[in-house]
Chain A
Amino acid sequence: TQLLEQSPQFLSIQEGENLTVYCNSSSVFSSLQWYRQEPGEGPVLLVTVVTGGEVKKLKRLTFQFGDARKDSSLHITAAQPGDTGLYLCAGDRGTYKYIFGTGTRLKVLA
């Protein structure tokens, strides 16, 4: 059973464009994380959000945790080729057992 659905699955955009990736669930999570993974490497943690409604910014990336702690979004402003990769969300119900989303593969064209 896939508890975390990400959309879109694939996204190809031009450099300088903005984009939003969504992570949705019918379950409540105590925390939610976003990772970026490049080919041949393990995922790298970008951010952890723990409070409903929380917004965190990391340079051009903005992360939001839904008020009900069931969903999250990642917004990238002025995308760059270096942002290319597989973006994964992961939720935890307070048990340290992380459920990963289906992934969004982003390609930013120069």
Chain B
Amino acid sequence: GAGVSQSPSNKVTEKGKDVELRCDPISGHTALYWYRQSLGQGLEFLIYFQGNSAPDKSGLPSDRFSAERTGGSVSTLTIQRTQQEDSAVYLCASSPRLAGDRTDTQYFGPGTRLTVL
């Protein structure tokens, strides 16, 4: 079956512009995560959606970052007034979160490489 897809795969933008990054999770997965990964480093948690619950936004680095998940499926991460330090790979992951699961099995997309000039 289809995995997690992200678009665009690469995005180059100028400082100060807004960007939108899209994530299509695996169908039926209720949990969706966004992470940021700087070159060759570990992942930084940004935001997490679970079903109809309020998202956990505690990892968003500033109010320039926001995310939404429409209809419990597709998610969009928006970065307003981009800065050079926003350059990174943005990864999305989804999880089925089955009843009784104590942990999430996260399936990651390939990421969007964002470059802010």
- Assuming the contacts A97-B56, A97-B58, A98-B33, asked whether A45 and B44 have C-beta atoms less than 8 A apart, the reply is no
For A5, the closest partner residue in chain B by CB is B42
The count of residues in chain B whose C-beta lies closer than 8 Å to any C-beta of chain A is 28
Interface size class of A (residues with CB under 8 A): 20 to 34
Q: Enumerate chain A residues within 8 angstroms of B42, measured Cβ to Cβ.
A: 2, 4, 6, 88, 100-103
* A109 within 8 Å of B (CB atoms): no
Q: What residue in chain A is nearest B104 (Cβ atoms)?
A: A96
CB pair A96 B50 closer than 8 Å = yes
With most chain B CB atoms within 10 A of its CB, the pick from A31, A40, A41, A43 is A43
- Known A100-B35, A100-B42, A101-B42; judge A45-B110 contact (CB<8 A): no
- Total CB contacts across the A-B interface at under 8 A: 69
Q: Say yes or no for A84: interface residue by CB 8 A criterion.
A: no
Given A96-B48, A98-B33, answer yes or no on A103-B41 (Cβ-Cβ < 8 Å).
Answer: yes
Would you list which residues of chain A between 77 and 93 have a CB under 8 Å from chain B?
86, 88, 90, 92
A41 to B41, CA, bound (A): 13
Q: Are A43 and B48 in contact (CB under 8 A)?
A: no
Which residues in B have their C-beta under 8 angstroms from that of A4?
Answer: 42
Task: Given A50-B102, A92-B103, A96-B48, check contact A102 B41 (CB 8 Å).
Answer: yes
Report chain A residues within 8 Å CB of B43: 43, 88, 90, 98, 100
Pairs across A and B, CB under 8 Å, 5 listed: A4-B42, A6-B42, A41-B108, A45-B107, A86-B40
A residues lining the B interface (CB < 8 Å) = 2, 4, 6, 30-31, 33, 40-45, 48, 50, 86, 88, 90, 92, 94-103, 105
